[in-house]
Amino acid sequence: MKSLKARLPKRPIRIRHSRFVASWQELQGYCKNKATWPQAVMSADKLLDAALKKRHFKGKTMGERLVAAQNSLSDNDMVWTAHNMAKKIMDAPDISLREKDVKLALIGFRQALKDLGAFSADYMYSRDMSATEESTSGK
């Protein structure tokens, strides 16, 4: 006889959009000052890892989870570039970052979060990205 667990249909995985949106808005605050850009990238990397775990992608490391999720991501290369930037920051916290690279990394992380369903459909892309661009420009 099959176990009860095996017979029950799997429940869809629910992600609390508000938690991810609030965390994203908080990390945007780090974009206002060049000295905290590394913290913004690291926060985005951690947020993406949380979404991967919430979606139950298997793997001991974030890299393994990204490999498992590659078919769910619209721009796998951009996400890997962003994740590799975060790893470089962990290895060398005093690393000098260019504004362009930080923007591209955050765009990659944000798209991955969107692909994984961490942001609700009504969360405005243009409003969010314009805020990121203003933050990194120091406006």
Along the chain (139 residues), what's the average pLDDT of each consecutive run of 10 residues?
51 71 93 94 97 92 95 94 96 92 96 89 52 52
Q: At what angle do helices 99-115 and 125-137 cross, to 10 degrees?
A: 160
Model pLDDT, residue 8? 47
Model pLDDT, residue 97? 94
CA dist., res. 20 & res. 51, Å (int): 8
Model pLDDT, residue 15? 72
Model pLDDT, residue 67? 96
Q: What is the pLDDT of residues 16-48, one digit of tens each?
A: 778 889 999 999 999 999 999 999 999 999 999
State how far the alpha carbon of 50 is from the alpha carbons of 1, 19, 90, 136, 137, in Å: 36, 11, 18, 24, 28
Residue type, 14: R
Helices assigned H by DSSP within the chain: 4-7, 17-29, 37-54, 62-69, 76-91, 99-115, 125-137
pTM given for the model? 0.80
Model pLDDT, residue 85? 97
What would the two tokens of residue 119 be?
């942001």
CA dist., res. 47 & res. 28, Å (int): 13
Q: For the chain, which residues make up each domain, given as ranges?
A: 38-133
| Whether 45 contacts 62, CB under 8 Å | yes
Model pLDDT, residue 11? 47
